[in-house]
Chain A
Amino acid sequence: MEYRADFILGIFSQIIWYASNYLIVWLLLNNFHSISGWTWPEMAFLISINILTYAIGASFTYTPMMSMEQLVIKGELDKYLVKPISIFPHLIASLFNFGYIAHILISGALLIWCLEELSIVWNSSKVFYLILTLAGGSMLQAGGLILIGSWSFYFMKSSYLAELYFKIKDFISYPISVYVSVIQVFLTWVLPLAFINYYPALYLLGKDTNLLLLFAPLVGPLVLLVSIFIWKKGLNNYQSSGS
């Protein structure tokens, strides 16, 4: 926030980037009407949840975890380790990123639009489920980034892994039912990103009535806990650097 021009420019670039993301899908659906049974508002719902939960999760963990590489290689983690507070919350709090406000605004606005377009029969349990979805999704997104950060403790460089992760995460901009089964299994059981938006959407949009879907938002907190555990284990591997 100390560099105002940078902050404002950052917000603009994000708005343009994400608006173009929506635009591509909208253009596609203008030609095809639906992708494996999903209409434009339903697709927009998927994308909105993905971006919104990412923005919330990333506000907390993106900057600290993407900095891990530098913190570890240059030994800058030292200064966090000599403070009388837990290092993980300290890192998250001190590197909290307000820059995601643009993500939140654009995806939040679109989510509200989708919810009006979609003919969901709302009741209190569905509202509660939506809130859980957003919370769980945010945790899952935050956890994914923490896992990438943890990688630095073992292998120093993590930027290529981050790139790979973001490419894979692009998959969930579409319903995973459009992909071959290997990718579906991968996104469900290996890197459970489909639990961010796809599975909760199945339930909310009434596409599937499997009761197991009710537990979909719980995957998020689970991933978050596991990722923090791995991160803390990794910390013991920290070697600092010579000075």
Chain B
Amino acid sequence: MEIIKINKLVKEYRTNKRYTGTFGALKTLFSKEYICNKAVDEISFVINEGDSIGYLGPNGAGKSTMIKMLTGILVPTSGDIQVNGMIPYKNRKEIAKKIGVVFGQRSQLWWDLPVIDSFELHKYIYKISEYDYRSKIEEFVELMDMKDFLNKPVRQLSLGQRMRAEIALALLHSPTILFLDEPTIGLDVLAKHNIRKFLRNINKQKNVAVFLTTHDLKDIEEICDRIIIVNQGKSVFDGHILQLKKDTGTMNKRVTIEFYTDPGQLQISNAKLISDEGVRKKYEFIHTDIQGAGVMKSIMGIKHQDKIKDISIEEMSIEEIIHKVFVNLNQNIEIRV
């Protein structure tokens, strides 16, 4: 079932044109010129129930703007937008009951009150039944290990603890979609891991759709099945991670072979040498459809088998893939300008 449907959505920010120089500030004051900045430029996509979407893009690509339009905070300039069959900015209250929102950089908890008080208030605002509330709290406290700080004022929490509380709060009313804007920003490795595990769990077992923006690609790898990449307001990729790998030619397996002694020049069928340090040689396979078994076969075919000390087969990490995509994007932009 479709829960989010947007079609040619545009959000334009208008800012006064600013002038520099001695009288620039004065000129700015009386100028009526505007600069239009398209933060979201004719983006369309559909999201189904239980999907997990990573919304990626460089800084200023319009990621937060998209989340804000989907949650009804911002009014789009043009285009169609539907969340749970409703238009977010027009039906803000009804939408709010069915979605959960977590802003990594903006707390929704009451700063001076104990965490549990924020939960209680949430229960009251969202009209959650006592029974549902109790069972949810119990479940989240257990899953995210929140027992220690449930009664502490929010301002005394560590960032990791606060983030767990934020996510629990956003899920208390059993939303069908959870929006997260950079949920793991500034967290340590362990805290990130716990949050990812929890989100994965919520998505797979509770069938809550997850829509997240992040700069930490580990988040995407562990939580999301589908990624949408945006740049300068435009969507440049929408699909499964595997598809992205195919599109960018980064599916190819790489193999590093370590030898006891330098075997000299060495060819592997279907692969090309990408780095050679004598005893350590790195190859990349040319065809995308060569799997692990194919790789093994090729390696078995090489000479100097007795000199091989170690073999490792690897794929390009998502970090590298996205890096490659972003670099390509920047190059394209330079050409356009």
Which A residues contact B (CB, under 8 angstroms)?
Answer: 2-3, 75-79, 81-87, 236, 238-240, 242-243
Q: Is B268 an interface residue (CB 8 A)?
A: no
Docked-complex contact A85 and B125, CB < 8 angstroms: yes
Please give, as numbers and ranges, the residues of chain A lying within 8 Å of B92 by CB-CB distance.
81-82, 87
8 A-B contacts (beta carbon < 8 Å): A77-B73, A81-B72, A82-B71, A82-B92, A85-B125, A236-B75, A243-B106, A243-B182
Docked-complex contact B74 and A238, CB < 8 angstroms: yes
Docked-complex contact B96 and A82, CB < 8 angstroms: yes
Please give, as numbers and ranges, the residues of chain A lying within 8 Å of B112 by CB-CB distance.
2-3
Cβ-closest 10 pairs across A and B: A84-B96, A2-B112, A84-B97, A81-B73, A82-B101, A243-B105, A79-B108, A84-B93, A243-B64, A82-B71
Q: How far apart are A52's CB and chain B's nearest CB, in angstroms?
A: 29
Interface hub of B73, B107, B126 (most chain A Cβ within 10 A): B73
User: Do A82 and B99 form a contact, CB below 8 Å, given A238-B74, A240-B73, A240-B74?
Assistant: yes
Docked-complex contact B106 and A86, CB < 8 angstroms: no
Please give, as numbers and ranges, the residues of chain B lying within 8 Å of A78 by CB-CB distance.
68, 73, 103, 106
User: CB < 8 Å: which of B13, B65, B104, B106 contacts A79?
Assistant: B106
Total A-B contacts with CB atoms under 8 angstroms apart: 59
Docked-complex contact B125 and A84, CB < 8 angstroms: yes
Q: How far apart are B225's CB and chain A's nearest CB, in angstroms?
A: 25
User: CB < 8 Å: which of A2, A79, A84, A87 contacts B103?
Assistant: A79
Please give, as numbers and ranges, the residues of chain A lying within 8 Å of B96 by CB-CB distance.
82-84
Besides A2-B153, A87-B92, 11 new A-B residue pairs in contact (Cβ under 8 A), listed by A number:
A3-B112, A82-B92, A82-B101, A82-B108, A84-B93, A84-B94, A84-B96, A85-B93, A243-B105, A243-B106, A243-B181
A156 to B203, CA, bound (A): 39
- Interface range, B side: 20 to 34
Summarize A's interface: helix, strand, loop or mixed.
loop
Please give, as numbers and ranges, the residues of chain B lying within 8 Å of A239 by CB-CB distance.
13, 74
A243 to B180, CA, bound (A): 12
Please give, as numbers and ranges, the residues of chain B lying within 8 Å of A81 by CB-CB distance.
71-73, 92
Docked-complex contact A242 and B64, CB < 8 angstroms: yes
A214 to B74, CA, bound (A): 44
Q: Chain A residue with minimal CB distance to B108?
A: A79
Docked-complex contact B64 and A76, CB < 8 angstroms: no
User: Do A76 and B93 form a contact, CB below 8 Å, given A2-B112, A81-B73?
Assistant: no
User: CB < 8 Å: which of A2, A76, A87 contacts B106?
Assistant: A76
A84 to B92, CA, bound (A): 7
Q: How far apart are A231's CB and chain B's nearest CB, in angstroms?
A: 15
Q: Chain B residue with minimal CB distance to A3?
A: B112
Please give, as numbers and ranges, the residues of chain B lying within 8 Å of A75 by CB-CB distance.
106
Please give, as numbers and ranges, the residues of chain B lying within 8 Å of A85 by CB-CB distance.
93, 125
Please give, as numbers and ranges, the residues of chain A lying within 8 Å of B294 by CB-CB distance.
none
Q: Is B60 an interface residue (CB 8 A)?
A: yes
Please give, as numbers and ranges, the residues of chain A lying within 8 Å of B74 by CB-CB distance.
238-240
A242 to B93, CA, bound (A): 23
A236 to B96, CA, bound (A): 17
Docked-complex contact A84 and B73, CB < 8 angstroms: no
